[in-house]
Amino acid sequence: MDSTTRFRNPGTHLARGVFTALKIAVLGPFAVGKTTFVGTLSEIPPLRTEEVMTRASVGVDDLAAAPGKTTTTVALDFGRLTLDEQTVLYLFGAPGQGRFEQVWKDLLTGALGALVLADTRRLEESYSFMDLLERYGIPYAVAVNEFDHAPRHEADALRAAMDLDERTPLTLCDARNRASSTRALITLTEYLLSLEPA
């Protein structure tokens, strides 16, 4: 699977010297902070496909962890981050509900890797995303988004609770904070670089 795109003529949407685009997927359950994470890191106004939740979502979307939530992503979130004069990183945030599984698969096409966001109040809801990535052979890291008033745990305890492979990176982050979100992205990037042959 090709994880980079090369541009012959970047045009007006990118700086003239940009010739490589890298793609990272951001996955995780409903209301875990994917839209916030992509928006926090994007250097451009992020593309969001948020729609108002209707009565049809009652009993389908669990709002226990986010009782004030009134919108949901129905396709994707998209952001861009310039890494250097020749390279940009595209972030694709996926909707979290299981009914969008085909969208998850589509967004993974061409992805260099993925970041799975998790919430300590419902860690088990992130497992299906890790399973999907493992089935597709896409390397990933896990970032536990530390919500206000959510239980806090040491990384080692979280790793044990999630039964993560010892090679899978785990980090804590606040998706609202640019420095914290950047550290989570760097954790994934360093892992991806470690997988590249010397």
pLDDT confidence bin for 15, thresholds 50/70/90:
low
Pairing of strands 20-27, 87-93: parallel
One DSSP character per residue, 148-198 reads TTS----HHHHHHHHT--TTS-EEEE-TT-HHHHHHHHHHHHHHHHHHS--
Segment 79-97 mean pLDDT: 85
Residue 121 · residue 65 · CB < 8 Å: yes
Q: Is 80 exceeded by the pLDDT of residue 2?
A: no
Q: What is the pLDDT of residue 11?
A: 47
**Whats the size of the chain, residue-wise?**
198
pLDDT tens-place string over residues 122-171? 899 999 999 999 999 999 999 999 888 887 888 899 999 999 999 999 99
The neighbouring-strand residues paired with 24 are: 91, 113
Q: Name the amino acid, one letter, at 122.
A: R
- Lowest mean pLDDT of 15-29, 111-125, 129-143, 182-196, name the range: 15-29
Q: What is the pLDDT of residue 150?
A: 80
Q: What is the pLDDT of residue 55?
A: 55
Task: Return the percentage of the chain with pLDDT > 90, whole number.
Answer: 47
Give the predicted TM-score (pTM) of the model: 0.77
